[in-house]
Amino acid sequence: MDITKEIQRRRTFAIISHPDAGKTTLTEKLLLYGGAVQLAGSVTARKQQRATTSDWMELEKKRGISISSTVLQFEYEGYYINLLDTPGHKDFSEDTYRVLTAVDSVVMVIDAAKGIEPQTRKLFEVCRQRGVPIFTFINKCDRPMKDPLSLLDELEKVLGIGAFPVNWPIGTGFEFKGVYDRRAKQFHLFERTVGGAYRAPVEVGGLDDPAIRGRLDPVTYAKTVEEIEMLDLAGEEFDEESVLAGLTTPVFFGSGVNNFGVQLLLDGFLQHAPAPKSRVMAGLSIAPEHPAFSGFIFKIQANMDPRHRDRIAFLRVCSGKFERDMVVSHSRTAKKVRLSSSHKLLGNERETVNEAYPGDVIGLVGHDGFGIGDTLTTDPTILYREIPRFTPEAFSFLHNSNTAKFKQFRQGLDQLLQEGVIQALTLRHSGSKVPLLAAVGPLQFEVVQFRLENEYGATSRLETTPWNVVRWLPASMTDEQLDALSLPTGAKVGYDMGNNPVVLFANEWSANYFTTPNPGVTLSHLPVGLSGL
């Protein structure tokens, strides 16, 4: 099999946005239109309804929000698609940012009534820094929305990116009837289906098609025609290169829940989104066609399938061909490992995969030594350093509330620490065995508690701490030097999981004050040698 052909048909992308814009709903509809599911589930599923494929965790189904990113692989029209649905909430952004290292492009979902929201803007900045091409889906056009022209304006002004409308909404809110495909010069008028579980019936026709005209009220028709003329008069052309450079975003309008515009987004995206490209590591460029197999782990998740209770390491293949049972070297341990349990994934469903190509995300089972950020390769000179780190901003003690379940509590917590859901710190000169947890946001503690109980049968109790800020000390500091530090009131010295010394402070002010009584001791936001975003 020609590897170039396999690479060229790969599309690996993430769906990103502020919470609630409709990422999971859109993901499910892309699966429906991509033929990967026959019946679309809903994020707010009631008893008789199916839940979505990507929000498979118990807590996600209960809350109706995404907590963890999900991988969905399927084939459609000759393309091999790796789609990653991400959580929007900022407390889970570490997971989302890790996913961004593993994709070649993104679909940014915008709520048509709200425009660009803060979390979308942050994620956008990361994509721009990484030069990732961005496609925009303006969702929820079935509700009262901002004027489409002002939404384009917002994209250009707030994000500083060119916006090219590929299609255009016909009517808005309750009168939202469909979209106009500007390049094919065709109207797509849809009908709503109950719950949007099936594809929406569509009628396609040109500007002057009487059947189409007959279905629109004269005001909507006239307004749409006028807007389309205006856009055409502006004379902007679709500029493929500018899109691939991340300077222009193609904009699609629609409504995920009603299946309006989903097919046009899927087809337009696949046509213009890039296939996997070279990756640069330590100044060296590794092409996907490189003869050596290489990839890196960007996510670990345990207990995805209650029947198996094992942990999956998610690997993004970057170069060469993956073959099941191949022996690779593992960067963290420099040991050789055989990869015999490899899977393709659709939410929490998995299937053995015998070969994979650059762009693919595969799930590897049975390797407890794998950690986030590790490189696996047949050429040990290749080492990816892709995974960003975040500075924790929330700190809490976690008590085991049932001593009889201590084993389960410890085992569960160790697993969640390995997944990188949270970090653990230990206080210096403290005899207490109660774990001190550190997270980007407090919702992560809730996830830990829920999963400990749900997956390990261990109940727990959180205890607030007086700290809100952590800073790393130079790793070379000796015990005597640590003892000699003059700490502001309430501050404490501790260690991270890699045994690097840290200081916990009550607030930013006391962290800034620290250098006054301790000149020459520099604090950093992350362990030295690791770069943040």
Ligand X SMILES: Nc1nc2c(ncn2[C@@H]2O[C@H](COP(=O)(O)OP(=O)(O)OP(=O)(O)O)[C@@H](O)[C@H]2O)c(=O)[nH]1
Segment contacting ligand X by CB under 6 A, of 164-172, 256-264, 361-369, 424-432: 256-264
Kindly tell me which of 169 and 435 has the beta carbon lying closer to ligand X.
169
Kindly tell me which of 66 and 82 has the beta carbon lying closer to Mg ion.
66
Q: Determine the 3-state secondary structure of 381 from DSSP.
A: coil
142, interface contact from ligand X, Mg ion, none, CB < 5-8 Å by kind: ligand X
Kindly tell me which of 21 and 504 has the beta carbon lying closer to ligand X.
21
How many chain residues touch Mg ion (CB under 5 A)?
3
Q: Is 375 near Mg ion (CB under 5 A)?
A: no
140, interface contact from Mg ion, ligand X, none, CB < 5-8 Å by kind: ligand X
Q: How far is the CB of 260 from ligand X (least distance, A)?
A: 8
Kindly tell me which of 304 and 315 has the beta carbon lying closer to ligand X.
304
Q: Which amino acid is at 515?
A: T
Under 8 Å between Cβ of 487 and 515: no
CB atoms within 10 A of CB 185: 11
**Phi and psi for 233 in degrees, rounded to 5?**
-65, -35
Q: Is 23 near Mg ion (CB under 5 A)?
A: yes
Under 8 Å between Cβ of 353 and 498: no
Cα dihedral 262, 264, 265, 269, rounded to 10, equals: 150
Q: How far is the CB of 219 from ligand X (least distance, A)?
A: 23
The pairing of beta strand 79-85 with beta strand 10-16: parallel
255, interface contact from Mg ion, ligand X, none, CB < 5-8 Å by kind: ligand X
Segment contacting ligand X by CB under 6 A, of 13-21, 294-302, 319-327, 495-503: 13-21
In the chain the first and final C-alpha atoms are separated, in Å, by 39
Kindly tell me which of 66 and 258 has the beta carbon lying closer to Mg ion.
66
The pairing of beta strand 105-111 with beta strand 134-139: parallel
Kindly tell me which of 10 and 451 has the beta carbon lying closer to ligand X.
451
Q: How far is the CB of 133 from ligand X (least distance, A)?
A: 20
Q: Is 126 near ligand X (CB under 6 A)?
A: no
Binding mask 131-160 vs ligand X (x if CB under 6 A, - otherwise)? --------xx-xx-----------------
Q: Is 494 near ligand X (CB under 6 A)?
A: no
Specify the DSSP class assigned to residue 314: E
**Integer Cα distance of 364 and 388 in angstroms:** 21
Beta strands in 207-287 (DSSP E): 248-253, 279-281, 284-286
Q: Is 96 near ligand X (CB under 6 A)?
A: no
Q: How far is the CB of 357 from ligand X (least distance, A)?
A: 28
Q: Candidates 32, 57, 84, 87: give the one binding ligand X (CB under 6 A).
A: 87
Under 8 Å between Cβ of 110 and 120: yes
**Integer Cα distance of 340 and 366 in angstroms:** 9
Q: Is 13 exposed, middle or buried (0-12, 13-18, 19+ CB in 10 A)?
A: buried
Give the footprint of Mg ion on residues 167-226 (CB under 5 A): none
100, interface contact from ligand X, Mg ion, none, CB < 5-8 Å by kind: none
- Helix 148-159 to helix 118-130 angle (10° resolution) is 60
Q: Which residue has the tokens 């060229």?
A: 8
Under 8 Å between Cβ of 42 and 49: yes
Give the footprint of Mg ion on residues 58-117 (CB under 5 A): 66
How many chain residues touch ligand X (CB under 6 A)?
23
Q: Is 29 near Mg ion (CB under 5 A)?
A: no
Q: Is 330 near ligand X (CB under 6 A)?
A: no
Q: Is 115 near ligand X (CB under 6 A)?
A: no
**Integer Cα distance of 110 and 100 in angstroms:** 18
Query: How is residue 436 written in tokens?
Result: 């001190």
Q: Which residue is nearest to ligand X, using beta carbons?
A: 88
Q: How far is the CB of 84 from ligand X (least distance, A)?
A: 12
The angle at the Cα of 96, spanning 90 to 101, to the nearest 5 degrees, equals: 140
Closest to 389 (Cα-Cα) out of 501, 315, 496: 496
**Integer Cα distance of 187 and 193 in angstroms:** 19
Q: How far is the CB of 11 from ligand X (least distance, A)?
A: 20
Q: How are the residues of the chain apportioned to helix, strand and coil, as percentages rounded to the nearest 5?
A: 30, 30, 45
Q: How far is the CB of 439 from ligand X (least distance, A)?
A: 17
Under 8 Å between Cβ of 66 and 56: no
Alpha carbon 331 to its chain's center: 24
Segment contacting ligand X by CB under 6 A, of 23-31, 399-407, 418-426, 438-446: 23-31
Q: Is 25 near ligand X (CB under 6 A)?
A: yes
Segment contacting ligand X by CB under 6 A, of 19-27, 290-298, 306-314, 464-472: 19-27
Segment contacting Mg ion by CB under 5 A, of 24-32, 258-266, 322-330, 360-368: 24-32
Alpha-carbon Rg of the chain, whole angstroms?
25
Q: Is 105 near ligand X (CB under 6 A)?
A: no
Q: Is 44 near ligand X (CB under 6 A)?
A: yes
**Which H or E element spans position 202?**
strand 202-205
Q: Is 19 near ligand X (CB under 6 A)?
A: yes
**Integer Cα distance of 503 and 489 in angstroms:** 12
Segment contacting ligand X by CB under 6 A, of 155-163, 251-259, 330-338, 364-372: 251-259
Give the footprint of Mg ion on residues 278-297 (CB under 5 A): none
Applying CB under 6 A, which residues contact ligand X?
17, 19-25, 43-44, 65-66, 87-89, 139-140, 142-143, 255-258
Residues contributing to the site for Mg ion (CB under 5 A): 23-24, 66
